[in-house]
Amino acid sequence: MTADLQKGRMGPRACLLGLLALFVAGKCSYSPEPDQQWTLPPGWVSLGRADPEEELSLTFALRQQNLERLSELVQAVSDPGSSRYGKYLTLEDVAELVRPSPLTLHTVQKWLLAAGARNCHSVTTQDFLTCWLSVRQAELLLSGAEFHHYMGGPAETHVVRSPRPYRLPKALASHVDFVGGLHRFPPTSTLRQRPEPQVPGTVGLHLGVTPSVIRERYNLTAQDVGSGTTNNSQACAQFLEQYFHESDLAEFMRLFGGNFAHQASVARVVGQQGRGRAGIEASLDVEYLMSAGANISTWVYSSPGRHESQEPFLQWLLLLSNESALPHVHTVSYGDDEDSLSSAYIQRVNTELMKAAARGLTLLFASGDSGAGCWSVLGRHRFRPSFPASSPYVTTVGGTSFQNPFRVTDEVVDYISGGGFSNVFPRPSYQEEAVAQYLSSSAHLPPSSYFNASGRAYPDVAALSDGYWVVSNHVPIPWVSGTSASTPVFGGLLSLINEHRILRGLPPLGFLNPRLYQQHGEGLFDVTRGCHESCLNEEVEGQGFCSGPGWDPVTGWGTPNFPALLKTLINP
């Protein structure tokens, strides 16, 4: 849908707003994101000021309505005890609920028209507006912004960003949440290739995690694959300027997919597929989502909306708000430190995740690969939670290792598994009992000053994250590790359960957490051994939280025992 911003005579209101767009100093302006951190990520360099006539694509997040009602509906459609359980909203239902007020739509459109914005496109929910402006126009529109070119990352990505904060006319304070495309840089992969463990002899041992090892550990049989007869589908989303190659997927399935039915090609790519070298993380996501969720139609969101001034994660959220028919399960390995993001941005993204939950989408996010994390606040160390892992509307996946790295044994904590307590979001009611139990019974809690015990606690579940084989650029690569591996594995298994539900005429699982916590992790292997990493100081000595019986902030409720998990989630 194209916003009606045709040039023509401007009435008095449009003229006034046009002047406000230019005169935004002092009392006449406000900062939507005063707490947004701006630091140049390691490995990035400035290439100088952008040309004033260069074109930018900026995204304006418009203020939504009825968010309390949306939250109530998410609870109702996700709670097995509710009469509305599984009766998900359509995209059109969500749009009707959250669509900005006519005043907001009119005010923002007139403001952008006065600034010379072009080719403005909205989404079905009308709460995002993406427009093209020249650098000169954008710097006049967004007082204080100063656009520069930057280059960095493994792929030497080019982006346009502003190192300075921006301000908007006060007349827009009740209409615009934030403007995307100014500050946030593309994420970098935290995936690691660990050295191969050394043990004498290899008789009866496996030499790294493959689909066969996954299927053995989580008790899948050759029959546990998609039927190919439903409209069931799954997706992974990638924002790292990395791409997968279909030839790598085919080679991976040739090497490792011989004992189960599978699909050897992706059904749909949304976004742009680069022609350069494949990325290990992109290859991993696709190969393990399609081997765990075997024989199920798979989509890949590949750095959608790639323009130098756009944020790929934000563009993915826009796509979710603009497509009526989407895959039921989405796995995402993206994350940022909570403290690096503005309050306006983090709250709005959380609302977008809530919109997805209302529609019955299962969103799984990797918990991160830095354990509890660590940062210093006024000279004092604290743990550092990750977002969107800390959102109360996603299912967050932690990581485990085999107790014996060469045998299919019980699992223990993978020390990199992200987990902890949000400093932004309060603990949701669905996890109140489980978290309170952990906090009252754990014998190894860190000092209370290191974490917000009343915050949303994560992860919710876990899977193996250590020692994977990946095929990338035609080469089999061993010992790849990270929660970027555990997340597509868990997502693929949920897709298999959705297959059974759909064949029985039941709705897909949707937002899983209320059901998961009500059932106390039934159908999962409880991981009770190990701790993850944190601050390297004398007080905690690098140790964060430790696992224990039941839920814990390292491995959640545990890892999947597929037949038991299917049994507990197949019921209406």
Closest CA to 485 of 170, 133, 190: 190
Give pLDDT, residue 309: 58
Distance CA 103, CA 259 (A): 59
Give the whole-number percent of the chain exceeding pLDDT 70. 90
User: 3-class DSSP state for residue 192?
Assistant: strand
CB atoms within 10 A of CB 231: 9
CB atoms within 10 A of CB 205: 12
CB 427 within 8 A of CB 455: yes
CB 50 within 8 A of CB 134: no
Average pLDDT over residues 547-555: 97
Q: In the Cβ-directed half-sphere of 288, how many Cα atoms lie within 13 Å?
A: 34
* pLDDT value at 389 more than 60: yes
Average pLDDT over residues 397-406: 93
Closest CA to 548 of 526, 525, 521, 519: 526
Helices (H), 329-417: 343-358
Give pLDDT, residue 307: 60
Helices (H), 504-561: 513-518
Catalytic residues: 281, 285, 484
Distance CA 182, CA 161 (A): 5
Query: Which pair of structure tokens corresponds to residue 531?
Result: 């701790």
Sheet holding 468-472, edge to edge: 192-193, 475-481, 468-472
Distance CA 411, CA 405 (A): 10
User: 3-class DSSP state for residue 475?
Assistant: strand
* 526 is an annotated ligand-binding site residue: yes
Average pLDDT over residues 236-255: 88
* 550 is an annotated ligand-binding site residue: yes
φ/ψ of residue 464, rounded to 5: -55, 135
327-374 pLDDT per residue, tens? 999 999 888 899 989 999 999 999 999 999 999 999 999 999 999 999
* pLDDT value at 103 more than 60: yes
Average pLDDT over residues 49-64: 94
Average pLDDT over residues 38-54: 88
Q: What distances in angstroms separate CA 388 from CA 241, 269, 349, 454, one per listed residue? A: 19, 23, 8, 18
pLDDT band at 243 (very low <50, low <70, confident <90, very high): confident
Give pLDDT, residue 436: 98
Closest CA to 350 of 321, 384, 390, 318: 390
409-434 pLDDT per residue, tens? 999 999 999 999 999 999 999 999 99
* 552 is an annotated ligand-binding site residue: yes
* pLDDT value at 181 more than 60: yes
The secondary structure element, H or E, covering residue 491 is: helix 483-503
* pLDDT value at 23 more than 60: no
Give pLDDT, residue 25: 39
Helices (H), 359-471: 432-441
Model confidence, pTM:
0.92
222 burial level (CB within 10 Å; 0-12, 13-18, 19+): exposed
Q: What distances in angstroms separate CA 85 from CA 351, 460, 472, 510, one per listed residue? A: 20, 20, 42, 10
CB 514 within 8 A of CB 430: yes
Distance CA 384, CA 389 (A): 12
pLDDT band at 5 (very low <50, low <70, confident <90, very high): very low
Q: Vertex 240, ends 294 and 121: CA angle to 5°?
A: 95
* pLDDT value at 44 more than 70: yes
